[in-house]
Structure 1
Amino acid sequence: MSGKARMRATVAASGIAALVATGVVGAVTATSASAADHPDANGRSQHVLLISVDGMHQSDLNWYVSQHPDSTLAKLTRGGTEYTNAKTSNPSDSDPGGTALMTGGNPKSTGVYYDVEYSHKVDEAGAQCTPGKAATGGDVIYDSPDDALASVNDLAPTGTGSFPSFDENGSIYPQGVDTNPAAIMNLTFDPKTSLNPGTFPVDPKTCQPITPWDYLGDNTIFQVIHKAGLRTAWSDKHAVYASFNGPGSGGQSIDDLFAPEIDSQAVMPNGIPYPQDDDWAHINAATKQYDGYKVQAVLNEIGGLDHSGKTKVGTPAILGMNFQTVSVAQKIRSTPTTLIHNPDGSYTTSAPEAGGYAWVQGQLVPGPVLSSALDYVDAQLGRMVASIQKAGLTDKTTIIVTAKHGQSPQDPNKLVTVKDGPIVDAINAAWAQTHPGTASLIVAGTDDDLWQSYLSDTSAAATSFVKDYLWNHTAQGYDVNKKPVTVQHSGLAEIWAGADAASFFGVAANDGRYPDVFGKVQEGIVYAKPTKLAEHGGMNSGDTHVLMVVDGPRIPARVIGAPVETTQVAPTILSVLGLNPASLTAVQKEGTRVLPGLAGWRQDR
Structure 2
Amino acid sequence: MDGMHQSDLDWYVARHPHSTLARLTRHGREYTNALSANPSDSDPGGTAIMTGGNPKTTGVYYDVEYSHTVDEAGAACTPGRKATGGDVIYDSPDDALASVPDLISTSTSTFPSFDENGSVFANGADTNPAAIMKLTFDPKTSLDPATFPVDPATCRPITPWDYLGDNTLFQVAHAAGLRTAWSDKHAVYASFNGPGSDGRSIDDLFAPEIDSQAVMPDGVPYPQDDDWAHIDAATKQYDGYKVQAVLNEIAGRDHSGATEVGTPAIFGMNFQTVSVAQKIRSTPTTLIKKADGSYTTSAPQAGGYAWVDGELVPGPVLSSALDYVDAQLGRMVSGIHRAGLTGSTTIIVTAKHGQSPQDPNKLVTIKDGPIVSAINAAWAQTHPGNPSLIVAGTDDDLWQSYLSDTSQAAADFVKTYLWDHTAQGLDVNKQPVTVQHSGLAEIWAGADAAAFFGTPVDDGHHPDVFGKVQEGVVYAGPTKLAEHGGMNPGDRHVLMLVAGPHIAAHVESAPVETTQVAPTVLSLLGLDPRELTAVQKEGTQVLPGIAGAARGR
* Interval containing the TM-score (normalised by the shorter chain): over 0.9
Select the residue among 315, 334, 338 that pairs with 2:263. Answer: 315
Select the residue among 381, 399, 414 that pairs with 2:362. Answer: 414
What letter corresponds to residue 468 of structure 2 in structure 1?
Answer: K
**What CA deviation, in whole Å up to 9, does each residue of 1:36-60 have, x standing for no partner?**
xxxxxxxxxxxxxxxxx00000000
In the alignment, the residues of structure 1 paired with residue 153 and residue 108 of structure 2 have an alpha-carbon distance, to the nearest angstrom, of 42
**What CA deviation, in whole Å up to 9, does each residue of 1:126-178 have, x standing for no partner?**
00000000000000000000000000000015564100000101111111011
2:303 aligns with 355
1:515 matched to 2:463? The reply is: yes
- Contact kept in structure 1, 2:501 and 2:549, CA below 8 Å: no
Change over 3 Å in CA distance of 1:159–1:63 after alignment to 2: farther
What letter corresponds to residue 357 of structure 2 in structure 1?
Answer: P
2:198 aligns with 250
1:550 aligns with 498
1:136 aligns with 84
Select the residue among 169, 181, 190 that pairs with 1:221. Answer: 169
**What CA deviation, in whole Å up to 9, does each residue of 1:425-483 have, x standing for no partner?**
00000000111121400000000000000000010110000000000011010000000
In the alignment, the residues of structure 1 paired with residue 361 and residue 108 of structure 2 have an alpha-carbon distance, to the nearest angstrom, of 36
Q: SS state of the match for residue 388, structure 2?
A: coil
- Contact kept in structure 2, 1:439 and 1:456, CA below 8 Å: no
Taking every aligned residue pair, what percent have the same amino acid on both sides?
A: 82
1:474 aligns with 422
What letter corresponds to residue 261 of structure 1 in structure 2?
Answer: E
1:459 aligns with 407
Select the residue among 83, 100, 120 that pairs with 2:68. Answer: 120
Change over 3 Å in CA distance of 1:515–1:157 after alignment to 2: closer
Q: 1:526: Cα distance to partner?
A: 0.2
In the alignment, the residues of structure 2 paired with residue 454 and residue 436 of structure 1 have an alpha-carbon distance, to the nearest angstrom, of 19
**What CA deviation, in whole Å up to 9, does each residue of 1:467-500 have, x standing for no partner?**
0000001101000000000100000000000000
* Poorly superposed stretches of 4+, deviation over 3 Å: 157-160
Select the residue among 361, 367, 379 that pairs with 1:431. Answer: 379
Change over 3 Å in CA distance of 1:559–1:159 after alignment to 2: farther
In the alignment, the residues of structure 2 paired with residue 452 and residue 473 of structure 1 have an alpha-carbon distance, to the nearest angstrom, of 16
Change over 3 Å in CA distance of 1:197–1:247 after alignment to 2: same
Pairs within 5 Å for 1:271-420: 271-420=219-368
- Contact kept in structure 1, 2:524 and 2:550, CA below 8 Å: no
What letter corresponds to residue 143 of structure 2 in structure 1?
Answer: L
Pairs within 5 Å for 1:61-72: 61-72=9-20
1:537 matched to 2:480? The reply is: no
Change over 3 Å in CA distance of 1:307–1:203 after alignment to 2: same
- Contact kept in structure 2, 1:104 and 1:587, CA below 8 Å: yes
1:44 aligns with none
1:20 aligns with none
- Contact kept in structure 2, 1:154 and 1:163, CA below 8 Å: yes
2:134 aligns with 186
Q: SS state of the match for residue 318, structure 1?
A: coil
1:592 matched to 2:548? The reply is: no
- Contact kept in structure 1, 2:70 and 2:85, CA below 8 Å: yes
Q: SS state of the match for residue 267, structure 2?
A: strand
C-alpha RMSD of the superposition:
1.0
In the alignment, the residues of structure 1 paired with residue 314 and residue 548 of structure 2 have an alpha-carbon distance, to the nearest angstrom, of 37
Q: SS state of the match for residue 430, structure 2?
A: coil
Select the residue among 4, 8, 23 that pairs with 1:75. Answer: 23
**What CA deviation, in whole Å up to 9, does each residue of 1:75-113 have, x standing for no partner?**
011100000000000000000000000000000000000
Q: Which moved more, 1:434-443 or 1:451-460?
A: 434-443
Q: SS state of the match for residue 128, structure 1?
A: coil
TM-score after normalising by structure 2: 0.99
What letter corresponds to residue 261 of structure 2 in structure 1?
Answer: V
1:22 aligns with none
What letter corresponds to residue 241 of structure 1 in structure 2?
Answer: Y
**What CA deviation, in whole Å up to 9, does each residue of 1:185-204 have, x standing for no partner?**
00000000000000000000
2:46 aligns with 98
1:582 aligns with 530
Question: What residue ranges of structure 1 are gaps of 5+ in the alignment?
Answer: 1-52
1:107 aligns with 55
Select the residue among 204, 209, 224 that pairs with 1:261. Answer: 209
In the alignment, the residues of structure 2 paired with residue 601 and residue 527 of structure 1 have an alpha-carbon distance, to the nearest angstrom, of 44
In the alignment, the residues of structure 1 paired with residue 395 and residue 532 of structure 2 have an alpha-carbon distance, to the nearest angstrom, of 31
Pairs within 5 Å for 1:5-20: none
1:59 matched to 2:7? The reply is: yes
In the alignment, the residues of structure 2 paired with residue 171 and residue 539 of structure 1 have an alpha-carbon distance, to the nearest angstrom, of 40
What letter corresponds to residue 273 of structure 2 in structure 1?
Answer: T
1:164 matched to 2:112? The reply is: yes
In the alignment, the residues of structure 2 paired with residue 564 and residue 459 of structure 1 have an alpha-carbon distance, to the nearest angstrom, of 36
In the alignment, the residues of structure 1 paired with residue 26 and residue 129 of structure 2 have an alpha-carbon distance, to the nearest angstrom, of 37
In the alignment, the residues of structure 1 paired with residue 408 and residue 265 of structure 2 have an alpha-carbon distance, to the nearest angstrom, of 49
Q: 1:532: Cα distance to partner?
A: 0.1
Change over 3 Å in CA distance of 1:275–1:160 after alignment to 2: farther
What letter corresponds to residue 407 of structure 1 in structure 2?
Answer: Q
1:525 aligns with 473
Q: Which moved more, 1:333-342 or 1:154-163?
A: 154-163
- Contact kept in structure 1, 2:377 and 2:387, CA below 8 Å: no
Q: SS state of the match for residue 496, structure 1?
A: strand
Q: 1:598: Cα distance to partner?
A: 2.1
In the alignment, the residues of structure 2 paired with residue 234 and residue 346 of structure 1 have an alpha-carbon distance, to the nearest angstrom, of 32
What letter corresponds to residue 188 of structure 1 in structure 2?
Answer: T
- Contact kept in structure 2, 1:556 and 1:599, CA below 8 Å: no
Q: 1:597: Cα distance to partner?
A: 1.6
In the alignment, the residues of structure 2 paired with residue 164 and residue 439 of structure 1 have an alpha-carbon distance, to the nearest angstrom, of 34
- Contact kept in structure 2, 1:594 and 1:602, CA below 8 Å: no
Q: How many residue pairs were aligned?
A: 552
Q: 1:599: Cα distance to partner?
A: 5.1
1:238 aligns with 186
Q: 1:423: Cα distance to partner?
A: 0.3
1:560 aligns with 508
